[in-house]
């Protein structure tokens, strides 16, 4: 499969996107329509700029451009931010009639793929630009702080991209310990969304799932400012594994 763009300058050849018809955009709009019909809140989502460019240009070429042609990469990202991602967020809000938080995941900008200074320039910078343009923008999907000599560097970036909710995912949580995140969140007045290992939830055993989930709740969730998150579990996960996590959330939060 060949990338859509051959270089950072190829964006000048891109055609305008019809957001009612292009790619999976109609699928997203249909999901929101069905959510609203069910009386639920629509989900305004978008792809973080670094991850988007990595898909359009290829990951290796994008990483090389970070160091060899950062100004050219910035021009490409600014174009996508202004002409594609920003309008797509606005279009979702317009179609749903919901002006709430738009969440952008940028997992490919995570360590060890990018170091913190590059994450700030090629990920956080564009989240902040979207916040200035549209408001109610949240950065999600970054992980890998346990791979850094100073994990707080990435936690600070996460906080700048989402001021009130610290997202922490396995394997980082298990590596650093739930209390590490709880202390950071308390120091900065944040709640925590803490994600269990998807492979653990899928493969089990049930006792290990229960022990991991209980540890998360006991060490980080006792004051109620906490969400226990099942992070992108595989489609073939056994239902009883999912019910185990839900049971822990109910049984341990007030015990």
SS3 4: coil
- Domain termination residue (choose one: 163, 188, 214): 163
Q: What is the pTM of this model?
A: 0.92
Residue 157 sits in the same domain as residue 169: no
Burial class (CB in 10 A: 0-12, 13-18, 19+), 39: exposed
pLDDT 10s digits, 182-235: 999 999 999 999 999 999 999 999 999 999 999 999 999 888 889 999 988 899
Residue 30 sits in the same domain as residue 156: yes
Contacts of 202 by beta carbon, 8 Å cutoff, 6+ apart: 233, 234, 236, 237, 238, 241
Residue 115 sits in the same domain as residue 11: yes
Residue 156 sits in the same domain as residue 168: no
Q: Is the peptide bond before 163 cis (omega within 30 degrees of 0)?
A: no
Full strand arrangement of the beta sheet holding 137-140:
44-47, 102-105, 137-140
Number of domains in the chain: 2
Residue 19 sits in the same domain as residue 65: yes
pLDDT 10s digits, 60-112: 999 999 999 999 999 999 999 999 999 999 999 999 999 999 999 999 999 99
Q: Is the peptide bond before 171 cis (omega within 30 degrees of 0)?
A: yes
- Domain termination residue (choose one: 134, 163, 192): 163
Residue 32 sits in the same domain as residue 116: yes
Residue 77 sits in the same domain as residue 22: yes
- List the CATH number of the domain containing 79: 3.20.20.210
Residue 157 sits in the same domain as residue 187: no
Residue 117 sits in the same domain as residue 144: yes
Quote the domain boundaries for residue 11.
1-163
Residue 76 sits in the same domain as residue 192: no
Residue 155 sits in the same domain as residue 193: no
């Amino acid at each position: 499969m060949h990338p859509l763009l051959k270089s950072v300058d190829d964006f000048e050849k891109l055609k305008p996107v019809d957001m009612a018809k292009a790619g999976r955009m109609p699928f997203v709009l249909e999901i929101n329509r069905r959510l609203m019909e069910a009386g639920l809140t629509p989900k305004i989502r978008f792809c973080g700029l670094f991850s988007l460019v990595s898909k359009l240009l290829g990951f290796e070429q994008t990483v090389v451009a970070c160091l060899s042609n950062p100004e050219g990469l910035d021009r490409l990202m600014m174009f996508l931010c202004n002409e594609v991602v920003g309008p797509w967020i606005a279009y979702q809000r317009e179609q749903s009639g919901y002006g709430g938080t738009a969440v952008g995941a940028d997992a490919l900008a995570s360590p060890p793929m990018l170091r913190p200074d590059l994450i700030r320039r090629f990920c956080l910078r564009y989240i902040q630009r979207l916040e200035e343009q549209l408001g109610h923008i949240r950065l999600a999907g970054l992980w890998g702080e346990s791979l850094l000599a100073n994990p707080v560097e990435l936690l600070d970036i996460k906080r700048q991209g989402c001021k009130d909710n610290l997202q922490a995912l396995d394997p980082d949580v298990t590596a650093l310990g739930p209390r590490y995140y709880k202390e950071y969140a308390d120091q900065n007045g944040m709640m925590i969304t803490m994600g269990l290992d998807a492979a653990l939830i899928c493969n089990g055993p049930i006792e290990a799932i229960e022990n991991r989930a209980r540890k998360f709740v006991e060490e980080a969730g006792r004051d109620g400012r906490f969400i226990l998150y099942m992070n992108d579990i595989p489609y073939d996960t056994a239902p009883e594994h999912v019910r185990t996590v839900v049971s822990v959330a109910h049984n341990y939060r007030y015990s």
